[in-house]
């Protein structure tokens, strides 16, 4: 049994209450470990606010979602009407709904920026591999959560978007048709699909998401935060055991984060009150029309945060397959000729390449489009083992690395834009080139990340007071 700590009878009522709680629950201990005595690098910059903003938007989504479920009806005949009822008749219902829909886009925006910060500063490198893996799992769960929530308004784009995406699973050899039937719960997207997606969106996926967020934070605080220099502050400690380049997260970075939250909320509320549809990017105009299984919209496209991966899907055509086969063959030849490995491994690579080429020739391009779309997310999980650069941070990498990362960002934005547009000949060629660059960036990283001479990394973090 834990030992109880006594407190002076003359102590203030608040202190007595806190002592009573601490004797039964480690409240003060948790606060010290994760806030007041958690030492973070003193050179954090603006890129380090997106983690707390992601947490803020998660809370907004959960709270607004609870209020929306009070009035929403997961029934194919009533769903669209219940959303209109929330918008028009429920007191402040329009505000709650717009907070939730805008929050979905805000969530992806801050998560994309959070992940990009990790990319440029090497936050996925040792010893933070598990923190990165939890973060990628959060991103994957977030995509599932957003997709399932996207169906719930039961508008035209919700219905047909779900129809297209679920049908993609039928392209998987052998199990595809049965898997698509299992997801839909029927032979077409209908009432059963809506009920399944509602259950997962409201209960199952949020529980997984919360668990992953807790694991992500615990893993981060176990190894400590990275910083723009990529220097481990735990390597240089004072006589008291405190990192010389570290400062307590509270109150220094809590004030920092409160300022960022204030700015974010001003922008967030401005969008809610003045442009909640954001020109059709946050809420598509077709989604204000009830779902009609007998009338297909002229152009079906997902919400903006899915469009880069939707473009990866559309880019894989029958002729694109030949380019992919060429890439596999060239990659295998390069690995066998240039790689320093046993003959057995070279034989396995050559044999594996032949098997992949045979599969690519025998399986329909639609399946490989699905693989491309999923692979665009899954490849992020392998990033800690793909990057072989001698330094972590972009600050000390060869200068041309910065331009390569810039091109990657531009390419990602272009892929996202093309996903919102109807298919075209020029757009198709650009999306195919962009797809090759996207995967080439990661798959060739073990080679290009070693190229060039990095700049000297300081022993201590560089910091200028501001």
pLDDT digits (tens, 9 = 90+) for 254-294: 999 999 999 999 999 999 999 999 988 899 888 999 999 88
Residues of the chain with pLDDT under 50: none
250 is in an annotated binding site: no
221 is in an annotated binding site: yes
34 is in an annotated binding site: no
pTM for the full predicted model: 0.93
Q: How far apart are CA 322 and CA 79, in angstroms?
A: 45
b or e along 176-193 (b: 16 or more beta carbons within 10 Å of the residue's beta carbon)?
A: beeebeebbeeeebeeeb
Residue ranges of domains in the chain, CATH in brackets: 1-37 (no CATH), 44-288 (1.20.810.10), 309-448 (no CATH)
User: Of the candidates 199, 230, 24, 55, which has an alpha carbon nearest to the alpha carbon of residue 125?
Assistant: 230
User: Which residues are CB-contacts of 237 (< 8 A; sequence separation ≥ 6)?
Assistant: 243, 244
201 is in an annotated binding site: yes
Residue 358: per-residue pLDDT? 83
Residue 343: per-residue pLDDT? 75
Cis amide bond preceding 28, omega within 30: no
User: Of the candidates 102, 87, 42, which has an alpha carbon nearest to the alpha carbon of residue 283?
Assistant: 102
Residue 412: per-residue pLDDT? 97
256 is in an annotated binding site: no
């Amino acid at each position: 049994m834990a030992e109880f700590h006594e407190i002076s009878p003359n102590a203030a009522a608040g202190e007595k209450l806190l002592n009573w709680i601490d004797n039964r629950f480690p409240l003060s201990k948790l606060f010290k470990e994760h806030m007041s005595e958690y030492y973070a690098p003193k050179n954090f910059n603006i890129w380090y606010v997106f983690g707390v903003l992601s947490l803020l938007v998660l809370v907004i989504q959960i709270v607004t979602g609870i209020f929306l479920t009070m009035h929403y009806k997961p029934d194919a005949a009533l769903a669209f009407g219940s959303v209109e009822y929330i918008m028009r008749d429920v007191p402040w219902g329009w505000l709650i709904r717009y907070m939730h829909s805008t929050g979905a886009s805000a969530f992806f925006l801050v998560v994309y920026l959070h992940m990009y910060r990790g990319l440029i500063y090497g936050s996925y490198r040792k010893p933070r591999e598990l923190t990165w893996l939890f973060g990628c799992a959060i991103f994957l769960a977030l995509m599932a959560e957003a997709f399932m929530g996207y169906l719930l308004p039961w508008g035209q784009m919700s219905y047909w978007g779900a129809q297209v995406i679920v049908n993609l699973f039928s392209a998987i050899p052998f199990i595809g048709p049965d898997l698509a039937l299992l997801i839909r719960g029927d032979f077409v997207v209908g009432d059963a699909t809506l009920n399944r997606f509602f259950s997962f969106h409201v209960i199952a996926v949020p529980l997984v998401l919360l668990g992953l967020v807790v694991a992500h934070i615990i893993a981060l605080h176990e190894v400590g935060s990275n910083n723009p220099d990529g220097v481990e502050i735990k390597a240089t400690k004072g006589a008291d055991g405190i990192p010389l380049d570290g400062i307590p997260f509270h109150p220094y970075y809590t004030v920092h984060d409160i300022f960022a939250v204030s700015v974010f909320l001003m922008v967030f509320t401005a969008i809610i009150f003045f442009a909640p549809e954001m020109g059709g990017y946050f809420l598509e105009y077709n989604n204000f029309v009830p779902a009609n299984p007998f009338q297909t919209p002229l152009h079906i496209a997902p919400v903006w945060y899915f469009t880069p991966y939707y473009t990866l899907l559309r880019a894989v055509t029958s002729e694109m397959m030949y380019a992919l086969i060429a890439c596999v063959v060239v990659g295998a030849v390069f690995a066998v000729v240039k790689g320093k490995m046993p003959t057995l491994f070279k034989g396995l690579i050559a044999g594996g390449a032949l098997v992949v080429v045979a599969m690519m020739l025998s399986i329909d391009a639609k399946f490989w489009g699905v693989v491309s779309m999923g692979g665009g997310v899954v490849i992020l999980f392998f990033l800690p083992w793909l990057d072989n650069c001698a330094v972590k941070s972009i600050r000390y990498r060869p200068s041309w690395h910065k331009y390569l990362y810039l091109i990657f960002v531009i390419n990602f934005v272009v892929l996202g834009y093309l996903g919102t547009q109807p298919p075209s000949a020029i757009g198709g060629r650009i999306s195919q080139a962009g797809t090759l660059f996207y995967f080439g960036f990661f798959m060739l990283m073990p080679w290009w990340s070693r190229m060039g001479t990095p700049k000297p990394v300081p022993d201590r973090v560089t910091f200028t007071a501001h």
